[in-house]
Amino acid sequence: MDTADIKYRTYMKILKEELVPAMGCTEPVALSYGASKAREILGTMPDSVEVRVSYNIIKNVRSVVVPNTGGLKGIEAAVAAGIIAGVSDRLLQVISSVSEKQKADIRAFLDTVPVKVLPLEGEEVFDIVLFLYAGKDVVELHIEKYHTNIVYVKKNNRPVYVSPQAAREKNGAALNGQTADVIADKSLLNLADILDFADTCRIGDIQGIMSLQISCNMGIAEKGIRNSYGANVGRTLLKAYGNTVRTRACALAAAGSDARMSGCEMPVVINSGSGNQGIAVSVPVIVYAHELHVSDERLYRALAVSNLIAIHQKAGIGTLSAFCGAASAGCAAACGVAYVYGGGFEEISHTLVNSIVVISGIVCDGAKPSCAGKIAVSVEAGLLGYQMYMNGQEFKYKEGIVNRGVEETINNVSLLGKNGMRSTDKEIIRMMLAE
């Protein structure tokens, strides 16, 4: 693929936009980011806070530990952490540096300042509106569609920031002179071109992105294996099934999630807005690459394959849904493993179809320790899909949701996750909110 090709430039932009570091589960951190920015604009500490969020935000925040809070969970904790200790310029690492005093201040804030949480009705699944009040002053901040996408900020009902897209329509001013490019067009993703990009891209273009993903995601995976976090899914897998490369691939990916869901204060390079998906899509590929002693260059190219395939799948489903993103990430990781072994389009397309049609029924019931188990199962399903191809086996057209080819099957899974599981999502949320 020529570096001047629009697809080459778009694929690079996608990797730069999507593979960014985050500390903590990204939905609570999005709340911390918004709260930190709102507090900066308010100019003082609020005396009351109102948080309005979509039901999917509620689902993904209520059961996960907010890092650097001393074990606190929930929307209120995430918002308080952003207000007290957040540094908004750090984006999804907004609460990566919190002193012991600030941890105590977060708890004191929750004890003394009212934080009211209300659900937002509507079709937008990723929706956050924050109101910070101090005397007669109020700041309103709106995040929509993805974690750092501030749509607007108002102080005392006067706009101080409108997103670049909305600014063109409303003549809003950019916050602190900041501007943003249009988000990369993910509709240009397809498996054939992803493999072409991975085979031919300048290694220097992707080396920095992939080396950061390797160091961050393996770092938290190894910490999860060494220490007790959550339900210890990763450690359990190693204890029960031994130290084969296949078990290590599943166990280390699970262990990264074990640690992350339980508040481990280490960054993760995310994929599709999710740290768990970032771990699932990368760690198995890294484990196999190290086992086979392939070159760093081959590993970087394999990670380009796995990351872009995961993003391709998730783009059609959306940021949040009842479809577990670990499923698409685990199957994409197996595609990266196939690439490590020297596989091309045929091996990788069959690996993806064989695995994703098996595992696509896993539901997302929010961020919590059981995500580690879902990651382990998804990686295992992906590796099964690869072994099926290597043994001459496949699931065929018209068997369930399998379609005529890999792109058509990805589209079927996207429709299932985005449209078919809407009622499932509502039922899951109803169960989670039931007393």
The mean pLDDT of 122-151, rounded to a whole number, is 93
Query: What pLDDT, on a 0 to 100 scale, did the predictor assign at position 231?
Result: 95
- Backbone dihedral angles phi then psi of residue 278, each to the nearest 5 degrees: -65, -40
**pLDDT value of position 431:** 87
Cβ-contact 198, 304 below 8 angstroms: yes
The mean pLDDT of 37-66, rounded to a whole number, is 93
Architecture of the domain spanning 23-177: 2-Layer Sandwich (3.30)
Contact in structure between 260 and 253 (CB atoms under 8 Å): no
Q: Which residues touch 284 (CB under 8 Å, ≥6 apart)?
A: 249, 250, 252, 253, 330, 333, 334, 336, 337, 379, 382, 383
Range with lowest mean pLDDT among 59-68, 87-96, 273-282: 59-68
Per-residue pLDDT at 172: 41
pLDDT at position 428 over 80: yes
Question: What proportion of the chain, given as a percentage, has pLDDT over 70?
Answer: 95
The pLDDT value recorded for residue 435 is: 57
| pTM higher than 0.75 | yes
Q: Which distant-in-sequence residues (6+ apart) come within 8 Å of 291 by Cβ?
A: 245, 248
Confidence of residue 405 (pLDDT cuts 50, 70, 90): very high
pLDDT above 80: residue 298:
yes
Residue appearing with tokens 């891209």: 201
Which band of pLDDT confidence, cut at 50, 70 and 90, is reported for residue 289?
very high
Residue carrying structure tokens 């911390």: 32
**CA 199 vs CA 85, 190, 285, 309, 348: distances in Å:** 43, 14, 16, 14, 13
pLDDT digits (tens, 9 = 90+) for 147-194: 999 999 999 999 998 876 655 445 444 444 333 456 889 999 999 999
Give the domain ranges of the chain.
23-177, 189-433
pLDDT class for 254, splitting at 50, 70, 90? Answer: very high
Of 125, 169, 162, nearest in space to 142 by CA: 162
pLDDT of res. 171: 46
Q: For residue 8, what is the enclosing H or E element?
A: helix 6-18
Which pLDDT band, with edges at 50, 70 and 90, does 420 fall under?
confident
pLDDT at 167: 54
For domain 189-433, give its CATH number from 3.30.70, 3.30.1360, 1.10.4100, 1.10.1060. Answer: 1.10.4100
- Is pLDDT above 50 for 145? yes
pLDDT of residue 270: 95
Query: What pLDDT sits at residue 178?
Result: 39
Q: Which amino acid would we find at residue 422?
A: R
* Residue 165: predicted pLDDT: 62
The pLDDT tens digits for 87-129 are 999 999 999 999 999 999 999 999 999 999 999 988 888 999 9
100: Cα within 13 Å, side-chain hemisphere? 0
pLDDT tens digits for 315-374?
988 877 888 899 999 999 999 999 999 999 999 999 999 999 998 889 988 888 999 999
Q: Comparing 417 with 77, which gets the higher pLDDT?
A: 77
